[in-house]
Amino acid sequence: MSAPIPVPAPTWPTEFAERYRAAGYWRGETFGGMLRERAGAHPDRIAIVDGDRRWSYADLDERADRLAAGLLARGIGKGDRVVVQLPNVAEFFAVVFALFRIGALPVFALPAHRETEIAYFCAFTEAVAYVIPDVSEGFDHRALASRVRADLPALKHVLVVGDPGEHTALADIERDPVQLTDPPGPGELAFLQLSGGSTGVPKLIPRTHDDYIYSLRGSNEICAVDADSVYLCALPAAHNFPLSSPGTLGALYAGARVVLCPRPTPDVAFALIEREGVTITGVVPPLALAWTEAAERGGFDLSSLRVLLVGGAKFSEEAARRVTPTIGCALQQVFGMAEGLVNYTRLDDPNELIVTSQGRPISPDDEIRIVDDADTELPEGATGHLLTRGPYTIRGYWNAPEHNARSFTEDGFYRTGDVVRRLPSGHLVVEGRAKDQINRGGEKVAAEEVENHILAHPSVHDAAVVAVPDAYLGERTCAYVILRTGAAPLKPVAIRRFVRERGLAGYKVPDHVEFVETFPYTGVGKVSKKDLRAAIVAGLAGAAGSAGAAPGDSPGVVDTPGVVDSTGFVGSTGPADSAEPDGTAH
């Protein structure tokens, strides 16, 4: 077992930590302890439903113990990083609770991540293990693991749920439970969550037991989750929204039941809602649209559902108004971030506030500042940059001092990159975004990350990735590309295929590619994304009839409501996530 590592990230100054403890936010609980308590209090209650499998709290507790013993026996221990990339299967919870118990840190990869991202997470965190399914959605994770492992001597273990191939079956490492000698304390790190980010590589978010559990308790109270609740995990379980708002971990904290949904299409999700008596779930806006349309068609009994949370990207007022009349449950908007701050509309808020705002913070001690470009606080009600600090918002990314200097103020406020305005009630309205990110129906794409991959193409001189408005996803990505002088002309599909073959998650492959001669530049010579976006909007206005299409793209391939790709959040993408149609569509 490796020695405990220091926390390589800034943490809360003592005076804040003391305040948060004194206020009763941080109660000294850990995830390992929480599961043990629930299993002791009601061993036979069902904790996890995955298809035909039903694990009680006692089952989950025992599996976590057996896996914890197995991990320790393999030399994995406190402070070690373990990249976990699992779809919505029960083993996800056995693995993460085993890691929580021994103080090893899950690094939460998404099922959609591919070789480039996985290799980066493993290398950057010096991960000792990588946990995967055998094949998921037609993709063989074992082959990816073999390739990644070849270059990473620190990555000693690949643990597979299912047929292990050349690796180790997760089921084979289980051992009889052992007494833990050095379980993690409540103030220690529990896991590393991923940021959507706006930089060249994703950033890692260090969350502690105490701070995260506080956000769960707060979320449960706000969303009325109690032991009788049934939470449907419709989004990828590793994402912060379905994990914690109030999510699967909130539900388990409450002693409630988690139902795992293998894909969020209305037919699959609605059948589970009906069969399992689901009371609460959370989705991104494009799914909420698909669900409202499907609910109007009828055919399922959704009467058990009390609350639908919608967040991850801006939910339009028009769409928000349709939720309760069609699905028959309450709507809660949620505006959150893996870095911390989570805002909810309250169940007893007036309807107008629920449909027009993105909610207010969980905690009375969530500090909100709305500032101009010079960090000067704006008058109440003005629109500006959202900065925040509080009892479950990180003070810095993991092992990223340079990012931290940019992403946090000197007094510890996180620069969210969101542009908001605050209503007299304290509710926030998200008006836009200042960070260089595309929010593709809740899936975040850092422009710089994709640009760097496009720039690696030998024919490319420069690239700029921006958002284009889209009726279904809210935004899609458009890559503007300048070819090198003398380079042979390329088709858009060549760039898309190039990015895909570099091993990036499908949702990061540009939806559109546009070749141009030059970019609009700002006064200081930076590419003006603002002008690029304006050019797109102008192009859209001219391209009447091809809803959502960027100039130059063939209409019809972009507007694909109803297409849902379970490896991603949503509705991915038609072309971006299917096999490249070899130039026929683009």
Interface contacts to ligand AMP, rule CB under 6 A: 195-196, 240, 311-314, 333-339, 358, 416, 418, 430, 433, 439, 444
Q: Indicate the residue whose CB is closest to ligand DBH.
A: 336
CB of 459 to ligand DBH, least distance (A): 35
Residue type, 214: Y
Which of ligand DBH, ligand AMP, none is residue 339 near (CB under 5 to 8 Å by kind)? ligand AMP
Residue closest to 254 by CA, chosen among 35, 28, 29, 32: 35
Which of ligand DBH, ligand AMP, none is residue 245 near (CB under 5 to 8 Å by kind)? ligand DBH
Which residue number, 295 or 337, has a Cβ lying nearer to ligand DBH?
A: 337
Which of ligand AMP, ligand DBH, none is residue 159 near (CB under 5 to 8 Å by kind)? none
Contact assessment for residue 276 and residue 251, using Cβ atoms and an 8 Å cutoff: no
Contact assessment for residue 263 and residue 114, using Cβ atoms and an 8 Å cutoff: no
Tell me which residue has tokens 């493993």.
122
Q: Where are the beta strands (DSSP E) in 398-551?
A: 414-422, 428-433, 437-440, 443-446, 460-470, 474-483, 512-515
What would the two tokens of residue 532 be?
Answer: 């690029």
- Name the 3-class secondary structure at 197: coil
Which of ligand DBH, ligand AMP, none is residue 342 near (CB under 5 to 8 Å by kind)? ligand DBH
What would the two tokens of residue 101 be?
Answer: 């118990």
How far apart (Å, rounded) are the C-alpha atoms in residues 230 and 439?
29
Q: Which residues pair with 56 in a beta bridge?
A: 46
How far apart (Å, rounded) are the C-alpha atoms in residues 343 and 184?
29
Contact assessment for residue 379 and residue 451, using Cβ atoms and an 8 Å cutoff: no
Q: What are the start-end ranges of the H helices in 418-517? A: 447-455, 492-501
CB of 390 to ligand DBH, least distance (A): 14
Which of ligand AMP, ligand DBH, none is residue 327 near (CB under 5 to 8 Å by kind)? none
Which residue number, 265 or 358, has a Cβ lying nearer to ligand DBH?
A: 358
Given the rule CB under 6 A, which residues bind ligand DBH?
240-241, 244-245, 311-312, 334, 336-338, 342
Which residue number, 117 or 553, has a Cβ lying nearer to ligand AMP?
A: 117
Which residue number, 136 or 245, has a Cβ lying nearer to ligand DBH?
A: 245
Which residue number, 193 or 567, has a Cβ lying nearer to ligand AMP?
A: 193
Which residue number, 290 or 420, has a Cβ lying nearer to ligand AMP?
A: 420
CB of 29 to ligand DBH, least distance (A): 19
Tell me how crowded residue 24 is: count the other CB atoms within 10 A of its CB: 9
- φ, ψ of residue 59 to 5 degrees: the values are -60, -50
Which residue number, 129 or 235, has a Cβ lying nearer to ligand DBH?
A: 235
Residue closest to 12 by CA, chosen among 416, 417, 418, 413: 413
Which residue number, 46 or 213, has a Cβ lying nearer to ligand DBH?
A: 213
DSSP assignment of 309-344, as one string? Answer: EEESSPPPHHHHHHHHHHH-SEEEEEEEETTEEEEE
Which of ligand DBH, ligand AMP, none is residue 345 near (CB under 5 to 8 Å by kind)? none
Q: What is the dihedral of CA 90, 93, 95, 101, to 10 degrees?
A: -150
CB of 413 to ligand DBH, least distance (A): 18
CB of 341 to ligand DBH, least distance (A): 9
CB of 497 to ligand DBH, least distance (A): 29
Which residue number, 427 or 457, has a Cβ lying nearer to ligand AMP?
A: 427
Which of ligand DBH, ligand AMP, none is residue 100 near (CB under 5 to 8 Å by kind)? none
CB of 390 to ligand AMP, least distance (A): 15
- Name the 3-class secondary structure at 33: helix
Which of ligand AMP, ligand DBH, none is residue 314 near (CB under 5 to 8 Å by kind)? ligand AMP
Say which DSSP state 377 is in.
Answer: B
Q: Which helix (H) or strand (E) holds 233?
A: strand 230-233
Query: What end-to-end distance do the CA atoms of the chain give, in Å?
Result: 52
Which of ligand AMP, ligand DBH, none is residue 358 near (CB under 5 to 8 Å by kind)? ligand AMP
Which of ligand AMP, ligand DBH, none is residue 244 near (CB under 5 to 8 Å by kind)? ligand DBH
Q: Indicate the residue whose CB is closest to ligand AMP.
A: 196
Which residue number, 93 or 335, has a Cβ lying nearer to ligand AMP?
A: 335
